[in-house]
């Protein structure tokens, strides 16, 4: 279980508890958080679950693998150094307290 904060572009935020083995993407879908589409269902195909990890983050996240890296070039909102596909961020106690920012658009 991990507490995840989703910050919306309008400044509001949604904080939810997400259980393993879900991903940060699935946590948003389960809680019907607007701003994560994940049309491909989490197979790192579509780039519609793009998030910006909070710049102050110190929690350990997996490395960006090649296909995630490729997909991040095509996201609807600009890629930044802290861009990730939330379907590639598995939830565990290690990322309890993670804060992600939702982009203005996913597609």
Contacts with other proteins, residue ranges (CB under 8 A): 29-30, 32-34, 37, 39-41, 43-47, 67, 70-79, 103-105, 107
> How far, in Å, CA of 45 to CA of 14, rounded?
26
User: Judged by CB, which is closer to other proteins: 4, or 72?
Assistant: 72
User: Judged by CB, which is closer to other proteins: 13, or 57?
Assistant: 13
User: Judged by CB, which is closer to other proteins: 66, or 93?
Assistant: 66
Least Å distance, CB 104 to other proteins, is: 5
User: Judged by CB, which is closer to other proteins: 53, or 103?
Assistant: 103
- Contact predicate 70/99, CB 8 Å: no
Rg, the chain, Cα only: 12
């Amino acid at each position: 279980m991990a507490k995840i904060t989703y910050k919306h572009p309008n400044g509001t935020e949604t904080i939810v508890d997400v259980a393993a083995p879900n991903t940060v993407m699935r946590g948003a879908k389960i809680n019907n958080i607007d701003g994560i589409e994940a049309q491909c269902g989490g197979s790192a195909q579509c780039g519609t679950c793009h998030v910006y990890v909070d710049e102050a983050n110190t929690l350990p996240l997996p490395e960006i693998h090649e296909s995630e890296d490729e997909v991040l070039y095509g996201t609807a909102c600009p890629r930044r150094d802290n861009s990730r596909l939330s379907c590639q961020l598995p939830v565990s106690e290690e990322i309890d307290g993670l804060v992600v920012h939702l982009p203005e658009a996913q597609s």
